Chains A and B, each alone.
Chain A
Amino acid sequence: MNVIFLILILFLVGAIVTAFAGKWSSLLQDGLFILAVTIPAVLFFTQVEMNQLVGWTRGGIHLELGLTPFSYFFAILVLLLGVASAIYSVGFMHGKARKSYYYFNYLLTIMAMLGILFSRDFISFFVFWEIMTWASYLMVVMNGTRTQEIGIKYFVFSAIGAYAMLMAIVLIHAQTGNFLIQDFIDTYPSLAHGRQILIPILLLVGFSVKAAVMPLHVWAPGSYAYSPMSFTSVFSGALSKMGIYGMVIVFVTLLSHLPEGGLIRDIIAWMGAMTAVIATLWAIAQDDARKLLAYSSVGQLGYIVIAVAIGTPMAMLAGLFMAFMHGLFKGALFMVVGAVEKQTGTTDFTKVTGLIRKMPWTFLTALISIIALAGIPPLGGFIGKWMLYESLILSDHYLLVIVAFFSSTAAFLYAYKFLFGFFLGQEEEEWADVKEAPITMLIPMLALAVGSILLGAFPQLILKPINNGLISLGFSDSYGKLWETSTLFNEWGDKVVLQPIIYAIMGVFLTTLAFTYFRNRKRTRYVSTKDISTSGEIPLAHENLTFKENFFQPFLRAVEPVMKKQIDWYYREFGAGLEAIFNFTRRIYSGNGQTYALYAVIFLIVLLLLNGNLFGQ
């Protein structure tokens, strides 16, 4: 059996076996779950050969699976996050209800994402895409909160996307006679112009839904926030990148042949920019860490969409690099929230404060990941953002730079709010006996944080696979030229020039810190947050010194006009309108037998009157 099949089957069998293993032993189930993720991951990195195709036929349709360098890059992200989050899940789900259900859907989601990346034909692609959708849907509704609203919204938008894609797929089949992706890419330039425009747009709609591009993003905040946090780190970190994966393929292989391609790209880039701005503003307004990160994810995806839509060689590298970085730091941040939720039972900033001493390692992860998110050097997030700005300026998209810069600066606000809200501030008695998260949850978090640091110093680790992937799509080789275009890199293109300087400064700073610490160790005294006095007054034990409510209110008041009407509101009104219409069609069936008989007679008469027109000779 081919190893690609083996990987997919291992996931599937693993999912079923793991789901049932819970009946015997919880520990066995956890072990099987970890194995069900790690064994296929190991197989993937050791056994799968690049560009090897395996084909088979189902229902008269020829299907092909294989690995290209481009999907290899995304597979790294999926498996990295998949394994990390799986280990984390064992700790997170410990003692929670519906563990078997969670494990089953988790494994199916990872399988489906790998399947998408393996697919070399549209039917496999769509099948895996839909498995991913319903498995993640089952995760979104898992907590049972607001399922009819958030779950259905997620599914409806996913269905809009998937069906747009399905429509494109059947149209493609009508044109090429088969479902192979490569065949379509080859015949695309010779299609009729109408089809040439319609098919990429339908595909882009499908991918935009998963990439949460405005106006198709409204499902994302709720779904990200209400899934179990251990799954959200995969959901936001890897699953949303499937949309980016598809988008890049459409941009590079299809739209580059189209004269209107530039216009479509610009529109999508602007949609990405709007997403980034609005979602960032909404993230600032949130008081719940889950929702803050959910909106932040949407916003960060907006940057990635801007970058890949602009599509210059450097922008493409920047976008995909940011996609990977976003997986790392957002995965880690959702894990942080999960850890806090697990230990304190809430994720509300206004309730939880001062966890820094209780959960130091969690704080460290949060700190590193927030630095990466905010794009502060020397972490990987900085490199991605720098390259994005540089490519936007070099390709004369000045307005986009301003918008991107505005939202990335605004992102500092929520980044600070996140760190401050949970970890800093006054220690309250309510959280006095909070413990650090279990080791199974800490290790994956820290590993992802280390990844952010590592990519800040050695971005070539991931830029090389990205470049190989883009070349295999038919994109120009931009990696070697990176040092020519970007001021960030040295002339070999594989080191960041700023980095040695920053490390030198940090080295000096840390040495001084260590020196003073050890020098004054004897005289060091630990103080509580209440150990202060203002104007000679000493705060009482129950006096609240932490500023938690109405964070950033002046800022939010300033941007209020932008946030007044959510797109969500229009969708809700539209949905309500539709339901009212459907309620009317329901009334056609009045329940009165005489009416039905009348319908039959009227129908007969209408047909008889129309006969010549309807059944023309």
Chain B
Amino acid sequence: MVGSPVLFVAIPLLAAFLIPLMGMIWKEFVRIIPGLVLAYMLVLSVSLIIYIQSHGTIVEVISGWGPPVGINLVFSPFSGALTTLMTFLGLLVWLYSHKFKRNVDYEPAKKYFILLMLMVTGSVGMVLTGDLFNMFVFIEIVSISGYGLTSFFVRRDSAEAAFKFLLMGAFASSFLLIGIMIIYTQLGTLNMAEIAQRMPQMDYHMKVFSLIFILVAIGVEAETFPLNGWAPDVYTQAPGPISAAMSGIVVKAAVYANIRIIYTMYDLQGAYEYLLIIGLITFIVAETAALKQERLKRMLAYSSIGQMGLAMIAFGIGTKEGVYAALFLMFSHAIIKSLLFFSGSYLVYNKTSKYIKHVNGMGKYLPITAFLFTLGAFAIIGLPPFMGFWSKLALLSAAADSNLVILVAVILVVSIVEAVYYLRVVNRIFFFKKRANTKPEKPTINAMIAMLSLAAIVLVIGFYPDLVTGLIERAADDLMDKGRYIGEILSKN
């Protein structure tokens, strides 16, 4: 074994504390260290993914207390795939913002990178942990760093957005605690594997109550309707790369938590239907709300919520195909939406209001950025031969195989709305006259590399989806096999 899953939490956390200290020695360390750490994490997670293919899931016991007593970290094909995705996106976010923040003073840059490291720590921790209370702690870490990053540009609007996020986050934390408390009083354990094992003993009403509290709590982070009111404001006000990190990393972790709880811990059939219905409502409301938006990042935020709704629908189908589709959707959404946020932020760079009309005519001044945004838009609409097509096909196929014809029709109809608002922006970029008071800002070289690598993934996976389908399939198998998960963890005792 090349390393231990515990490093995923320990190293970025350590780096977050070391950044200000190292910054005293040489200011550039503040910008360099996060990159090194994230690159190391990416290498580590890729090598661990390769390792578990031959050796099976890694269950890491912290400080000698074996499960179910102590905390354990699980690096399975499912959590491993998500970890790799998150660290990869984290690295790109760092790359994108490395020079982006150069025009910002030393002090804010320090805060920015500390909070970014914490955000990655929390998200990766949520995915890896095998302990429910530990998950709560990581959710808190993510949320708090999220509040901070939202108000990074010290402005009235961003403070307001951060406050809304804080308010909803507070509700989420208290509900989650109530849910965890009910489980602990009933089952006397917080280890997820053991909870799953003992779940049939739990009183039905207690079971449902605890599930509802947990679902509402995690629903806030996972942007489910009607708990996602904070999201559009936060995405609009946070710096561009942070919006990408939110949609690509944080929300993915929250959806993971949602799914792990429903698929592994609970044995309630109705929970799948809940996912399906709530996912569908989220999808419809978000996509239709996106159509009339006037601000670019707000539109992208609603689109992001809508895509998460799609992933929840796919999880709600409950078959292995559905899980496969959902993971594929999460993967492609993380890549494409990051590309859109990255390139979109440059298209509306010099305006704090970020109106869609500011992109008018940018195709002439920022040809590559505009092209990349268009590529992302085409991909997220689901046009072949780009990546988004394969994930959408997987979802529709899974729905049709489960005989959910109406669902297929609804998803497709709403997808037309999605196509309309994206193409309206694309038309503005290329075929409208530039407004006199907008000033194009050339992307930095780092940002360009980050965007180009995302675009390359969109194209390569679009032409050759087999690169990831094997990985996703293993992850889906892993999630569906609840017995193995319980067995692997509890056998570590």
In the complex, the answer to whether A607 meets B167 with C-beta atoms within 8 Å is no
In the complex, the answer to whether A586 meets B293 with C-beta atoms within 8 Å is yes
In the complex, the answer to whether B415 meets A615 with C-beta atoms within 8 Å is no
In the complex, the answer to whether B409 meets A603 with C-beta atoms within 8 Å is no
Q: For residues 96 through 118 of chain A, which have their beta carbon under 8 Å from a beta carbon of chain B?
A: none
Closest to B305 in A: A589
In the complex, the answer to whether B466 meets A591 with C-beta atoms within 8 Å is no
Given contacts A156-B416, A593-B167, contact A134 B293 (CB under 8 A): no
Task: For A170, give its contact among B219, B400, B417 (CB under 8 Å).
Answer: B400
Task: For A585, give its contact among B227, B289, B378, B430 (CB under 8 Å).
Answer: B289
In the complex, the answer to whether A152 meets B427 with C-beta atoms within 8 Å is yes
How distant is the Cα of A43 from the Cα of B44 in the complex, in angstroms? 49
In the complex, the answer to whether B419 meets A59 with C-beta atoms within 8 Å is no
How distant is the Cα of A174 from the Cα of B399 in the complex, in angstroms? 9
A148 CB–B CB distance under 8 Å: yes
B92 CB–A CB distance under 8 Å: no
Count of A interface residues, CB-CB < 8 Å: 60
Closest to B394 in A: A59
Instruction: Please list 20 pairs of residues, one from A and one from B, whose beta carbons are closer than 8 Å in the complex, sorted by A's number.
Output: A131-B383, A137-B423, A141-B430, A152-B427, A155-B419, A163-B412, A164-B412, A170-B399, A174-B400, A582-B417, A586-B289, A593-B168, A595-B229, A600-B226, A601-B171, A607-B216, A611-B208, A612-B208, A615-B270, A616-B270
Binds A, one of B144-152, B342-350, B385-393: B385-393
Task: For A593, give its contact among B163, B383, B403, B431 (CB under 8 Å).
Answer: B163
B285 CB–A CB distance under 8 Å: yes
Binds B, one of A122-130, A344-352, A440-448: A122-130
How distant is the Cα of A193 from the Cα of B403 in the complex, in angstroms? 15
Task: For A591, give its contact among B211, B233, B405 (CB under 8 Å).
Answer: B233
Task: For A614, give its contact among B213, B270, B289 (CB under 8 Å).
Answer: B270
In the complex, the answer to whether B400 meets A173 with C-beta atoms within 8 Å is yes
Closest to B298 in A: A589
Q: For residues 591 through 617 of chain A, which have their beta carbon under 8 Å from a beta carbon of chain B?
A: 591, 593-597, 599-604, 607-608, 611-612, 614-617
In the complex, the answer to whether B226 meets A608 with C-beta atoms within 8 Å is no
Closest to B396 in A: A170
Closest to B415 in A: A163
A582 to chain B, nearest CB (A): 4
Q: Mark B394-434, 1 if CB is under 8 A from A, else 0.
A: 00110111010100110011011101100110010011100
How distant is the Cα of A590 from the Cα of B420 in the complex, in angstroms? 23
In the complex, the answer to whether B164 meets A593 with C-beta atoms within 8 Å is yes
How distant is the Cα of A60 from the Cα of B390 in the complex, in angstroms? 11
In the complex, the answer to whether A615 meets B416 with C-beta atoms within 8 Å is no
In the complex, the answer to whether B269 meets A616 with C-beta atoms within 8 Å is yes
A278 to chain B, nearest CB (A): 25
Given contacts A126-B384, A593-B163, A603-B227, contact A141 B431 (CB under 8 A): yes
B204 CB–A CB distance under 8 Å: yes
Closest to A617 in B: B204
Q: Which residues of B contact A60 (CB under 8 A)?
A: 466, 469, 473
A163 to chain B, nearest CB (A): 4
B292 CB–A CB distance under 8 Å: yes
Closest to B301 in A: A589
How distant is the Cα of A137 from the Cα of B160 in the complex, in angstroms? 41
Contact count A vs B, C-beta below 8 Å = 172
Closest to B272 in A: A615
How distant is the Cα of A396 from the Cα of B79 in the complex, in angstroms? 67
B291 CB–A CB distance under 8 Å: yes
Q: Which residues of B contact A581 (CB under 8 A)?
A: 288
Kindly list the 3 A-B residue pairs having the minimum CB-CB distance in the complex, ordered from nearest: A596-B229, A615-B270, A59-B465
How distant is the Cα of A607 from the Cα of B175 in the complex, in angstroms? 13
Given contacts A134-B378, A582-B291, contact A599 B400 (CB under 8 A): no
How distant is the Cα of A391 from the Cα of B398 in the complex, in angstroms? 45
How distant is the Cα of A127 from the Cα of B469 in the complex, in angstroms? 18
User: Which residues in B have some Cβ–Cβ distance to A below 8 Å?
Assistant: 160, 163-164, 167-168, 171-172, 175, 204-205, 208-209, 211-213, 215-216, 219-220, 226-227, 229-230, 232-233, 268-271, 273-274, 285, 288-289, 291-293, 378, 383-385, 389-390, 393, 396-397, 399-401, 403, 405, 408-409, 412-413, 415-417, 419-420, 423-424, 427, 430-432, 464-466, 469, 473
Q: Which residues of A contact B390 (CB under 8 A)?
A: 59
Q: Mark A166-194, 1 if CB is under 8 A from B, else 0.
A: 11001101100000000000000000000
How distant is the Cα of A484 from the Cα of B409 in the complex, in angstroms? 47
In the complex, the answer to whether A596 meets B269 with C-beta atoms within 8 Å is no
In the complex, the answer to whether A163 meets B469 with C-beta atoms within 8 Å is no
A147 CB–B CB distance under 8 Å: yes
In the complex, the answer to whether B431 meets A600 with C-beta atoms within 8 Å is no
How distant is the Cα of A612 from the Cα of B212 in the complex, in angstroms? 11
In the complex, the answer to whether B416 meets A579 with C-beta atoms within 8 Å is no
In the complex, the answer to whether B209 meets A611 with C-beta atoms within 8 Å is yes
In the complex, the answer to whether B268 meets A615 with C-beta atoms within 8 Å is yes
In the complex, the answer to whether A589 meets B232 with C-beta atoms within 8 Å is yes
In the complex, the answer to whether A615 meets B229 with C-beta atoms within 8 Å is no
In the complex, the answer to whether B464 meets A58 with C-beta atoms within 8 Å is yes
A462 CB–B CB distance under 8 Å: no
A159 CB–B CB distance under 8 Å: yes
In the complex, the answer to whether B409 meets A167 with C-beta atoms within 8 Å is yes
A163-B416, A167-B412 are known; give 17 further A-B pairs, CB within 8 A.
A59-B390, A59-B466, A130-B384, A134-B383, A148-B427, A156-B419, A166-B396, A170-B396, A171-B405, A173-B397, A582-B289, A583-B292, A596-B167, A599-B226, A600-B216, A607-B215, A611-B205
Q: Which residues of B contact A595 (CB under 8 A)?
A: 229
In the complex, the answer to whether B208 meets A152 with C-beta atoms within 8 Å is no
Task: For A151, give its contact among B212, B389, B408, B423 (CB under 8 Å).
Answer: B423
In the complex, the answer to whether A152 meets B289 with C-beta atoms within 8 Å is no
Given contacts A58-B465, A141-B431, A171-B400, contact A604 B289 (CB under 8 A): no
Q: Which residues of B contact A127 (CB under 8 A)?
A: 384-385, 389
How distant is the Cα of A602 from the Cα of B229 in the complex, in angstroms? 14
Task: For B175, give its contact among A59, A160, A604 (CB under 8 Å).
Answer: A604
Closest to B324 in A: A60
How distant is the Cα of A594 from the Cα of B230 in the complex, in angstroms? 11
